[in-house]
């Protein structure tokens, strides 16, 4: 039996003439925060729906907790909490009563747990108000409360900060790593680069239905780090570097040499220059973000 919490291989989904998801593989371990990152329409949400059994793949398969989703969905999904699109609740019931209703159909939370999750999503002051009078952000937070009500092992959040003000967005970002630290696996689906960079341990980058890059968030950033080299004889330095193993990564920019991906090799590059009598006045890494990595890989921008 697999130790993976989520495993998907060859997921493929077509709607009429449009391929929404094209041969996607995913693997997620216990206790980490994973991000599915990409612009709207890149296949993230369709992938999430297949992981939850809300859409049937045309090809490929999904395993949760080491077991095939097909044929085992009811039992497996009891161990999953999710917020997919805009959460739906009974409009004339209060936030608290909606959670009580959920607890009636899937017992295990209880009054104390309901109050705890309301506090964790900062809805304790509005728990008595009817759901129909909630703002979009409050509805999103109640959805997260419902997702964690029964202490799931896997939490899937599809655009969880949609409609939240800056304070609410920050609160959700702080909550996500807390949930993972308690032993849960978190899957965050988002088109917001800075949101994924701040909270995710591992990222899958989607473009046009495919995963075009995957890896630890900081590893992806470090792997694309650029190095700026300033030296008096820039022509000689460039000739030397173009004859080295960094040749394909060398470019000139604003009177300096930029080495793409050379950040971790600064000491070695400095040694190479010095061995040829070239002494750099500046060798420094240029700050890199997940946005830089995403744009380089896909040529597309998402919302900042």
94-138 confidence digits (pLDDT tens): 999 999 998 888 766 688 899 999 998 889 999 999 999 998 888
Residues 213 and 238 in one domain: no
Whichever domain contains 140, its CATH number is 3.40.50.300
Residues 191 and 66 in one domain: yes
The count of structural domains within the chain is 2
In a domain, 54, yes or no: yes
In a domain, 303, yes or no: no
Residues 239 and 139 in one domain: no
* Averaged pLDDT for residues 216-239: 83
Residues 39 and 81 in one domain: yes
26-77 confidence digits (pLDDT tens): 999 999 999 998 888 889 989 999 999 999 999 999 999 999 999 999 999 9
237-288 confidence digits (pLDDT tens): 999 999 988 887 888 888 899 887 666 688 888 999 999 999 899 888 776 6
Q: What is the pLDDT of residue 192?
A: 78
In a domain, 292, yes or no: no
Percent of the chain predicted with pLDDT > 70: 91
Residues 32 and 63 in one domain: yes
Residues 122 and 211 in one domain: yes
Going by pLDDT thresholds of 50, 70 and 90, the confidence category of residue 304 is very low
Q: What is the pLDDT of residue 248?
A: 78
* Host domain of residue 232: 225-287
Residues 154 and 84 in one domain: yes
164-213 confidence digits (pLDDT tens): 788 878 888 888 888 888 889 999 988 777 788 888 999 999 988 999 98
pTM to 2 decimal places: 0.78
Instruction: Give the residue from 221, 253, 275 where a domain finishes.
Output: 221
Residues 133 and 232 in one domain: no
Whichever domain contains 258, its CATH number is 3.30.70
Distance from chain centroid for Cα 259:
28
Q: What is the pLDDT of residue 288?
A: 67
């Amino acid at each position: 039996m697999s130790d993976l919490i989520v495993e998907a291989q060859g997921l493929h989904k077509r709607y009429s003439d449009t391929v929404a998801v094209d041969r996607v593989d995913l693997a997620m371990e216990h206790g980490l925060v994973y991000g599915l990152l990409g612009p709207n329409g890149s296949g993230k949400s369709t992938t999430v729906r297949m992981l939850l059994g809300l859409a049937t793949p045309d090809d490929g398969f999904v395993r949760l907790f080491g077991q095939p989703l097909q044929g085992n969905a009811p039992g497996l999904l009891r161990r999953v909490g999710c917020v997919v699109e805009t959460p739906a609740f009974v409009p004339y019931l209060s936030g608290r009563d909606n959670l009580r209703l959920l607890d009636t159909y899937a017992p295990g939370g209880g009054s104390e747990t309901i109050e705890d999750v309301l506090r964790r999503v900062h809805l304790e002051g509005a728990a008595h108000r009817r759901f129909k009078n909630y703002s979009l952000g409050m509805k999103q937070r109640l959805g997260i409360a419902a997702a964690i009500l029964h202490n799931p092992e896997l939490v899937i959040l599809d655009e969880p900060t949609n409609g939240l003000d800056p304070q609410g967005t920050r609160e959700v970002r702080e909550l996500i790593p807390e949930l993972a630290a308690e032993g849960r696996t978190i899957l965050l689906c988002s088109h917001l680069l800075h949101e994924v960079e701040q909270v995710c341990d591992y990222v899958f980058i989607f473009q046009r239905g495919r995963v075009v890059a995957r890896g630890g968030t900081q590893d992806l950033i470090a792997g694309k780090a650029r190095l700026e080299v300033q030296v008096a004889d820039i022509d000689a330095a460039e000739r030397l570097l173009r004859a080295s193993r960094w040749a394909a990564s060398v470019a000139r920019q604003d009177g300096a040499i930029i080495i793409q991906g050379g950040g971790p090799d600064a000491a070695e590059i400095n040694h190479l220059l010095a061995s040829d009598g070239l002494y750099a006045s500046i060798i420094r890494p240029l700050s890199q973000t997940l946005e830089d990595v995403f744009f380089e890989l896909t040529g597309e921008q998402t919302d900042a």
